[in-house]
Amino acid sequence: MSHYHIIGQDRLPATSTLVIPGRVSRAEITVFKKLFSGRPITWLVEETAVIAEEIKSLIQQDQGAMFGVDDDPVLVGEHLKKFFDKQGVIVYLPGCSVARAAVPCHIPSRVLKALCRFGLPVLPVAVDVPREGGFFIDKSTSQPEGVMAIGQNIEAGKATVALYQERLLLAAEEAFSQRGFLKQSLGMVLLRGLKKFASKAHIHDGTDDSQLGYDKVLASAIVLSKVVREQTDKPRVGIVLPPGKAGLIANLAVIFAGKVPVNLNFTASQEAVRSAMRQADLDRFITVDPFVRKFPSFPWPPNRDLILIERILPKLKKKIGLWLVLSKILPTSVLAAQLRITSKKPTDEAVLLFTSGSSGEPKGVSLTHRNVLANELQFHSRLDSQPGAKIFGCLPLFHSFGCTATLWYPVIAGLNLVTYPSPAESKRIAELIDQQKVQIFLSTPTFLRGYMKRVDPEQLASLRLVVTGAEKLPESFAQAFEEKFGIRPLEGYGLTETAPATNLNLPELPSPKGWPVIPSARGGSVGTMLPGIAVRLTNPATEKGITLDQQGLIWLKGANVFGGYLNNPKKSAEVLQDGWFLTGDVGRMDEDGFLFIEGRISRFSKIGGEMVPHETLEAEVTKALALDQESERKIAIVGVPDAQKGEVIVLLSTVAGFALEQECIDLRYKLMDAGIPSLWCPKRIVPVTDIPMLASGKLDIKGCVELAVEG
């Protein structure tokens, strides 16, 4: 066990149990033999499973047992109890299967269901072997060959797939948290990435079709970092820039200056922006002249507080040239010491983001180096992208996914980054995807709708992965997009507070050997949990824990989960509890580990003691009115205060002439015919010119409520 780190050894029951590891290799067989030394071990195998030869050779001298998934579970359970003499343990061996890297459970759900029905006590065991993504393994930090985390034992007769999943994910979260990669600083990892891929990767800026190698990006960022350090003593620096070479260099420069970048939302209200500036205590802002002119309504600080890149960097060409040479000659450790980024601890603040303020004043989300690096690793372990691949960055840098996935990730993983400042300009983005042969594209359903009418299918032919987030991806739209472009958009999920990605659907894997395939995608879901993230659910009304297969409030735990809101202990206490983060979303998990989001708690109305889900109702109204889901959003459901009922449902609509009392009555009957309770039906329709949307592609809930109240 010298090469394996064991967590939770004190949870090993002294009594007999059925041990179900999520996955097993030759190394884990050896660990189990030592863990249960002195106790009889029986290796349990499903009769149709393919067991690797190297595992067979290790267990052939031990006793074994077989079962079939269709066998009577009561009889199988009684038969297996005979192996429980003398505190004996039964260890189930998952057969060979096809699964994505870092998936904690390689057991097909029908087999897992059979195991849970035996009526035996069950011990979940998570195995974490950090082999995926070689660059993400830091050789300078001590790291075991693998980590085995013992979960909480489940009593006899109490095992279910949902309970096993919950305890396995919790054990997997403990194991993942031991990764050596998480002990570093973001600056150090970015520096290593820029050096490693200096001449192999670049950024292509779609605004002027300029291209900059990562070696020049590094040299420019180092020089700008020295300017930043000279100009302010404050720990944070504001950045007001869209995706592009300036945005990348500015963010890197702030990190290399030993400070925290704060990308400000230039599409938010003046009130929200001023609130963010005040909360972050900013006195310097990096931007460019054209952007200042483009957004005259933005509450720009005085000129002396602006660091204008396009004015500064041309004057420092000689210094950039010098650092271009030095950055290639000097080792990473020497460069890091020069930049003074070696002093950063994993628990120090790395990035400050602000929530969109879609339902109130923006909250400052302080993410540590550990939070950000954990999410980079989680995202990469599933994406499994290779250096040199091309990823498109058009999501705003103040958007958490735009920051993690299309700012830091390409640098760390050595991807070529193609950028454009606006995610809404579908024609230009499609041209760039076609010209640059981009493979990975991250967007939102709102922005993708623009591609249906304005873009030719061949322009997106190079894409291998299209991921959407920020809002629900309608199945009908995903299908329509696939029919036109030959690639299906896959939904992911995350929150600013989780750095942000927590779930991801991915293309299904083939099975050339006929082995069972652990599914990678499920329509209507946001995907399976990324590695190292645990989940639990609570009843919204009673706040008591419920099993993952029931609908409840989603709580998440992991190294990527933030530690609290900036200077806001009250709000922090509302959402954090013993390391668990309350997402505010309602959902459930199916037997294959796919998470389904049923709605946001802020997008529910409590009427007559019933919780009315706005998103479910919107989907039904869309069907009832036969609205085109491929075009822009035409309706929104909101709850507004009511003196008699506490809250009433209001429908905002851009549909021409659809606001008369008769239309409301007709809609009510259509909804009731579709099985929607009368209590859920909109009480009035408010005509609007546009449905308020945020720059991130999310519905502007606050703006919608204001329109509904005015109407």
pLDDT in tens, 446-474: 899 899 988 999 999 999 999 998 888 88
Q: Contact 105/518 with Cβ under 8 angstroms? A: yes
Instruction: Look at residue 272 in the predicted model and tell me its pLDDT.
Output: 87
Q: Which of 326-335, 391-400, 619-628, 651-660 has the lowest mean pLDDT?
A: 651-660
Most confident of 23-27, 375-379, 642-646: 375-379
H/E element holding 596?
strand 595-600
**C-alpha pair distances (Å), 653 with each of 448, 633, 708:** 21, 9, 10
pLDDT at residue 682 is higher than 90 = no
CA pair distance 707, 690, nearest whole angstrom: 10
At 164, list the tokens.
């096993």
User: N- to C-terminal Cα distance for the chain?
Assistant: 68
3-class SS string, 445-466: HHHHHHHHHHCCHHHHCCCCEE
Measured distance CA(193)–CA(187) in Å, rounded = 10
CA distance 450 to 433: 15
C-alpha–C-alpha distance, residues 351 and 255, integer Å: 9
Contacts of 35 (CB under 8 A, 6+ apart): 1, 6, 9, 12
| DSSP letters for 510-534 | P-TT---B-----TTS--EEPTTEE
**Residues 6+ positions from 457 with CB-CB distance below 8 Å:** 484, 485, 486
Structure tokens at 224: 């700008």
Of 38, 35, 31, 34, the residue nearest 3 (C-alpha) = 31
For 644, other C-beta atoms within 10 Å of its C-beta total 5
Q: Is the pLDDT of residue 140 over 60?
A: no
pLDDT at 581: 98
Tell whether the model's pLDDT for residue 646 goes beyond 80: no
Q: With a cut of 70, say whether residue 341 has pLDDT above it.
A: yes
Which residues are 606's β-sheet partners? 611
Lowest mean pLDDT among 98-107, 528-537, 597-606: 597-606
Q: Is 332 helix (H, G, I), strand (E, B) or coil?
A: helix
Question: Up-side HSE of residue 138: CA atoms within 13 Å toward CB?
Answer: 21
Tokens encoding 695: 């720059």
SS3 category, 268: coil
Indicate the residue type of 620.
Answer: E
At 613, give phi and psi (nearest 5°): -80, 120
Spatial CA neighbour of 104 closest among 599, 468, 533, 590: 533
Which tens digit of pLDDT belongs to each residue from 472-483?
Answer: 888 989 999 999
How far is the C-alpha of 368 from the C-alpha of 203, rounded, in Å? 26
Query: In terms of C-beta distances under 8 Å and separation of at least 24 residues, what long-range contacts does 613-621 make, across chains too?
Result: 613/586, 614/638, 614/639, 615/472, 617/649, 617/676, 617/680, 617/682, 619/474, 620/671, 620/674, 620/676, 621/651, 621/667, 621/671, 621/682
pLDDT at 610 over 70: no
Q: Would you place residue 628 in the very low, low, confident or very high pLDDT band (cuts 50, 70, 90)?
A: confident
- State pLDDT tens for residues 491-513: 999 999 999 999 999 999 998 88
Sequence-ordered alpha helix ranges (H) in 495-587:
569-575
- Cα separation, 678 vs 61, in Å, equals 67
Say how many CA atoms lie within 13 Å of 131 toward its Cβ: 7
673 — pLDDT class (breaks 50, 70, 90): confident
Helix (H) or strand (E) holding 339: helix 332-339
- What is the per-residue pLDDT across 190-234, written as a single tens digit (0 to 9) for each? 999 999 999 999 999 999 999 999 999 999 999 999 999 999 999
Q: Which tokens go with 375?
A: 């999410």
Query: What is the secondary structure of 644-677 as a DSSP string?
Result: TTEEEEEEEE-STTTTSHHHHHHHHHHHHHTT--
State how far the Cα of 120 lies from the Cα of 13, in Å rounded to an integer.
13
d(C-alpha 56, C-alpha 61), whole Å: 9
Q: Rounded to 5 degrees, what angle do the CA atoms 261, 239, 258 make?
A: 30
* CA–CA gap between residue 674 and residue 668 (Å, rounded): 10
**Overall pTM > 0.85:** yes
Distance of CA 640 to the CA centre of its chain: 31
| Residue 697 scores a pLDDT above 80 | no
pLDDT attached to residue 647: 78
- Residue where the block lists tokens 């609205």: 627
- CA torsion angle for 532, 538, 544, 548 (degrees, to 10)? -70
Q: Is residue 355 over pLDDT 90?
A: no
**Average pLDDT for the chain:** 91
Closest of 244, 260, 243 to residue 401, by C-alpha? 243
pLDDT recorded at residue 200: 95
Which pLDDT score, from 0 to 100, does residue 139 have?
Answer: 59
Summarised one tens digit per residue, pLDDT across range 287-325 is 999 999 999 989 999 989 999 999 999 999 999 999 999
Tell me: pLDDT of 690 over 80: yes
Tell me how crowded residue 32 is: count the other CB atoms within 10 A of its CB.
Answer: 22
Distance between CA atoms of residues 636 and 711, nearest Å: 14
Confidence band, pLDDT 50/70/90 cuts, at residue 664: confident
Residue 130 has pLDDT above 60, yes or no: yes
Tokens of 699: 């519905």
Is the pLDDT at 137 greater than 70? The verdict is no
In the numeric block, which tokens belong to residue 127? 């195995």
**pLDDT of 606:** 66
**With 50 as the cut, is the pLDDT of residue 345 above it?**
yes
Instruction: Say whether pLDDT at 251 is over 70.
Output: yes
Q: Is the pLDDT of residue 1 over 50?
A: no
Does 660 have pLDDT greater than 80? Answer: no
Residue 139 buriedness (CB in 10 A; 0-12 / 13-18 / 19+) = exposed
